[in-house]
Amino acid sequence: MKNVSMLSRPINVKERPMKVKLSKPRIAFLVINTAFLCLFAFSSLLPFCNLLALSFSSKEAADANVVWFFPVGFTLDAYRLLITKVQFFRSFGISVGRVILGTVISLAVITFGAYPLSRGKNVFRGRMFYTVFFMITMFFSGGFIPTYILISKLKLMNNIFALVLPSAMNAWNMVLLINFFRRVPQEMIESAKIDGAGHYTILFKFMLPVSLPALATVMLFTAVGHWNSWFDGLMYMTTEHMPLQSYIYHIVNEQNKTGNNVVTNPEEAALLSNITIKTLESAQIFIAILPVLPLYLFAQKYFIKGLMLGSVKE
């Protein structure tokens, strides 16, 4: 009877995680690997720490090269002088507009190119030809001179579209999106077709909602690429229309040639007397890289998943 009553009771089984006993070589590998990765991550932060410390350091400390990872003779004069530079913030706004416009255009072009190329031969018979056509652009380009002539003939000089249209089609990002689209279950697409859905309905209501990791990856690559691009701004834009990275390169290059900074009023002259060109350059560069950092923090989860899933095809 005792056994029967025990069997009649509800058995509450709690799932416990299995404890895996690691061998000593495995533990040693994990310790060494973790220490190495932490050291590598810390070493990657050192240049940024030095840049930030230099932007807050005094003129004497910067000239003596005694600034490492902490400010020496703390001062905000570099940032006070930077606030007075209207062109710096104008270029900052141009870069923000370029990132938004360029990312939207690039996502639209890549999406409308990747969807038909991800379909089977029975849907799009010439997809192999167009795939090879786009893949060639990953290895060969027309060169800078034909591109410059084309931009000039289209009268896009000093126009923001000269910065976003030449790079709107990125073959590598399109291949990433193609491979992700091919992972979408065909049964879902076939059921949508049976219900009368067309290609636009399938793309916007089925393909894109399940492809957020790939889209976030492409968006991150495109936005960072536009933000860091500087050479096209030097070629196609005057100083008043340059994006931020091009403007910083232009200013730093001019300062290195002349050895001094361009002063427009006595207030700037007073601030400049307390800092060096190196300190001002550090403040400009730090502000330029600051807006890109949150993108990695917010898009990291989608970025890693999209990069892994989009690059492997079953």
Q: pLDDT tens digits, residue range 77-99? A: 778 777 777 888 888 889 999 99
| Residues 198-216, mean pLDDT to the nearest whole number | 83
Other beta carbons within 10 angstroms of residue 184's beta carbon come to 15
Beta strands in the chain (DSSP E): none
Q: Domain residues of the chain, as ranges?
A: 23-75, 80-310
Give dist(CA 184, CA 96) in Å, integer.
33
| Residues 55-83, mean pLDDT to the nearest whole number | 78
Residue pair 160/91 in contact by the 8 Å Cβ criterion? no
CATH superfamily, domain 80-310, is MetI-like (1.10.3720.10)
Give dist(CA 58, CA 275) in Å, integer.
6
Say what the pTM is.
0.73
Q: What is the per-residue pLDDT across 228-248, written as a single tens digit (0 to 9) for each?
A: 888 888 889 888 888 888 887
